[in-house]
Amino acid sequence: DQQVKQNSPSLSVQEGRISILNCDYTNSMFDYFLWYKKYPAEGPTFLISISSIKDKNEDGRFTVFLNKSAKHLSLHIVPSQPGDSAVYFCAAPLFNTGNQFYFGTGTSLTVIP
């Protein structure tokens, strides 16, 4: 049973516009969320995180929003750049089960120049 879900397998955005990637989760025990970015033939790299005590965390062009009541988070990239083209995974750890991380299936973002 997928506890972290990314329902959009792909997204195309024009350079300079906003990219919005979405993630839903089912387990109310999650209290920390991360976004990873993955280029082909490379391992994922950490991008940004958010704790459940916040509803927004910003780092440069990247902002993550958390809506706990809806069990939904989103990653906003503004402005989008061609180098942002990658697969984005959201993830959530469950520390009471030994630090297991649950990953979504990923969204492939293409930023069109």
**Binding-site ranges for other proteins (CB under 8 A):** 6, 9, 32, 34, 36, 41-46, 49, 51, 89, 91, 93, 95, 98-101, 103-106
What's the min distance (Å) between Cβ of 14 and other proteins? 26
Closer by beta carbon to other proteins, 45 or else 67? 45
Query: If you compute the radius of gyration of the chain from its CA atoms, what whole number of angstroms results?
Result: 14
Closer by beta carbon to other proteins, 13 or else 23? 23
Closer by beta carbon to other proteins, 62 or else 101? 101
Q: Cite the beta strand spans of 1-113 per DSSP E.
A: 4-5, 10-14, 19-25, 32-38, 45-51, 56-59, 62-67, 72-77, 86-94, 100-103, 107-112
